[in-house]
């Protein structure tokens, strides 16, 4: 993987276009800016229950966006990442519709997971209460298949039917996705919702030892086709460190809330501690198509078995309230049980609004991301310093839509002209092109409120000094021939 800054975007929400339009936008408005692009689900259909994360046909490009030849053309310009949605598919898929019509006589009967698949002798109350799910209630939906009533496993919504990844049918389904992606020139895959993929009686059915076995086997099949693998799991930070030792890449989901914590409390001790222990085979983010994770820095469990988090519980509560206050309570309308949320452990808000739309602190946060070891990704809304889309939220009543604005071409042009966005583009150029970032990084606390990250390679160096109390960004770098004029108003 190229270690430069990557873009995360929906095809149709970044200029209301298709694959060819996105390719033109990147060529004409953002030439050479990104070292890779993560295309969020572009499969048939992108208009389901979960913005494409519930594919009807994972092997077909949504007709409104183009076809596989358009994917190949974009991949010829820039390395592409795409999602393999390993845990589920849409209830409207031909496979599930055939199962509903024919039941056990269906060729796809072994593709879907039911309560009886995992608990053939039935489940006790204790069995059911032990299951981990990212939303209230039990992960089952009643259907009638072939005239027989069944309880199907639905981790997320009633429209997302869980796949039995242990059966030949499940494995064949996923392997065909890998082959299709490799043929289209995609070079990296993200395993979406993989923490829930393996279910086992008597467990939480989340991130089990068998899950790691599944990830390792699936990743090996991907690598054989030339695909690198990124694992997406929100969980206690110790689990992330463990996962990183067994996979190609993990997300550093602890970084965004820890950067916010540092700016909220004006001190860098919690963030510095994470920099001491975090895995370096990490994709760093501030924002994504999901919310800002809280579980990733919080404690886990209860009573004597509780594992402490990266920040104390009372500080985590204050941080969440601070984010809500910074956006005048807009995120409260989109978070928790307020708006049909899949994930109750995330705050739904644009990162810019979570910082009170303060451009200086926003650029400091982005600089901290870029100077943290790993591969940085920038979400399209974050690239454009996007604000909360309350109209879309009220239209769909889906909490995460607050941070999934549909930008028109005119809105993209206006956003790119903003000084804060121009400064962010200068930071991206620094991260991509300065030779120091091909070297090594050390960090240190200068005092309680100032954190320094310094990259060096030979005679080259790039140093960030972050004053968290003042929200100020200080940069010192050897000459690399970069034009950083757009950054000057925000430095010091």
Is 400 annotated as a binding-site member? yes
Taken in order 375, 381, 383, 385, is the CA torsion positive or negative?
A: negative
The reply to whether 242 sits in an annotated binding site is: no
* 410 classed as catalytic: no
Does 232 show up as a binding residue in the annotation? Answer: yes
Rg of the chain (C-alpha set): 22
289 is in an annotated binding site: yes
98 has catalytic annotation: no
Catalytic residue among 70, 192, 248, 353: 192
345 is in an annotated binding site: yes
3 state SS for the chain? CCCCCEEEECCCCECCCCHHHHHHHHHHCCCCCCCEEEECCCEECCCCCCCCCCCCEEEEECCCCCCHHHHHHHHHHCCEEEEEECCEEECCCHHHHHHHHHHHHCCCHHHECEHHHHCCCCCCHHHHHCCCCCCCCCCEEEEEECCEEEEEECCCCCCEEEECCCCHHHHHHHHHHHHHHHHCCCCEEEEECHHHCCCCCCCCCCCCHHHHHHHHHHHHHHHCCCCEEEECCCCCHHHHHHHHCCCCEEEECCHHHHHHHHHHHCCCHHHHHHHHHCCCCEEECCCCCCCEECCCCCCECCHHHCECCCCCHHHHHHHHHHHHHHCCCHHHHHCHHHCCCCCCCEECCCHHHHCCCCHHHHHHHHHHHHHCCCEEEEEHHHHCCCCCCHHHHHHHCCHHHHHCCCECHHHHHHHHCCHHHHHHHHHHHHHHHCHHHHCEEEEEECCCCEEEEEEEECCEEEEEEEECCCCEEEEEECCCCCCCHHHHHHEC
Is 479 annotated in some ligand binding site? no
From 12, 232, 296, 353, the catalytic residue: 232
77 has binding-site annotation = no
Q: Is 404 annotated as a binding residue?
A: no
Residue 50 annotated as binding site: yes
Binding-site sequence positions for sucrose: 88, 190-192, 232, 289-290
Binding-site sequence positions: 50, 88, 190-192, 232, 289-290, 343-346, 400
Binding-site sequence positions for substrate: 50, 343-346, 400
**Catalytic residue ranges:** 192, 232
């Amino acid at each position: 993987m190229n270690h430069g800054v990557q873009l995360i975007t929906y095809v149709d929400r970044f200029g209301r276009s298709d694959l060819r339009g996105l390719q033109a936008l990147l060529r004409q408005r953002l030439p050479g800016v990104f070292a890779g692009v993560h295309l969020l689900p572009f499969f048939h259909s992108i208009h389901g229950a979960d913005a494409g994360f519930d594919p009807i046909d994972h092997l077909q490009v949504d007709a409104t966006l183009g076809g596989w030849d358009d994917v190949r053309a974009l991949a010829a310009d820039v390395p592409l990442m795409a999602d393999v949605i390993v845990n589920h598919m849409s209830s409207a898929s031909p496979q599930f519709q055939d199962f509903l019509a024919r039941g056990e006589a269906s060729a796809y009967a072994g593709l879907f997971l039911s309560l009886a698949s995992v608990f053939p002798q039935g489940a006790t109350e204790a069995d059911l209460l032990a299951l981990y799910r990212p939303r209230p209630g039990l992960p089952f939906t009643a259907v009638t298949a072939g005239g027989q009533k069944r309880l199907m496993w639905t981790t997320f919504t009633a429209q997302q039917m869980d796949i039995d990844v242990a059966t030949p049918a499940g494995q064949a389904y996923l392997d065909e996705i890998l082959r299709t992606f490799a043929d289209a020139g995609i070079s990296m895959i993200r395993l979406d919702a993989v923490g829930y993929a393996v279910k086992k009686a008597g467990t939480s059915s989340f991130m089990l030892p068998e899950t790691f076995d599944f990830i390792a086997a699936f990743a090996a099949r991907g690598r054989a086709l030339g695909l690198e693998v990124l694992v997406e799991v929100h969980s206690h930070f110790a689990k992330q460190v463990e996962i990183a030792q067994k996979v190609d890449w993990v997300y550093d989901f602890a970084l965004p809330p820890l950067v916010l914590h540092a700016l909220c409390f004006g001190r860098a001790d919690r963030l510095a501690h994470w920099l001491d222990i975090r895995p370096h085979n990490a994709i760093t983010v501030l924002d994504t198509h999901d919310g800002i994770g809280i579980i990733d820095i919080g404690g886990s469990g209860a009573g004597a078995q509780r594992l402490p988090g990266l920040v104390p519980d009372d500080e985590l509560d204050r941080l969440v309230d601070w984010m809500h206050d910074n956006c005048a309570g807009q995120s409260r309308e989109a978070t928790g049980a307020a708006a049909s949320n899949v994930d109750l452990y995330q705050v739904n808000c644009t990162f810019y609004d979570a910082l009170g739309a303060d451009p200086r602190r926003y650029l400091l946060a982005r600089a901290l991301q870029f100077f943290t070891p790993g591969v940085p990704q920038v979400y399209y809304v974050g690239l454009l310093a996007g604000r909360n889309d309350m109209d879309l939220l009220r239209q769909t009543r889906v909490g995460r839509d607050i941070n999934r604005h549909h930008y028109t071409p005119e809105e993209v042009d206006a956003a790119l002209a903003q000084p804060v966005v121009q400064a962010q583009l200068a930071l991206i150029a620094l991260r991509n092109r300065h030779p120091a970032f091909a070297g090594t990084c050390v960090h240190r606390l200068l005092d309680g409120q100032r954190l320094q990250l310094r990259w060096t390679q030979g005679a080259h160096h790039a140093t960030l000094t972050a004053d968290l109390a003042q929200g100020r960004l200080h940069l010192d770098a050897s000459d690399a021939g970069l034009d950083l004029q757009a950054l000057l108003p925000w430095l010091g």
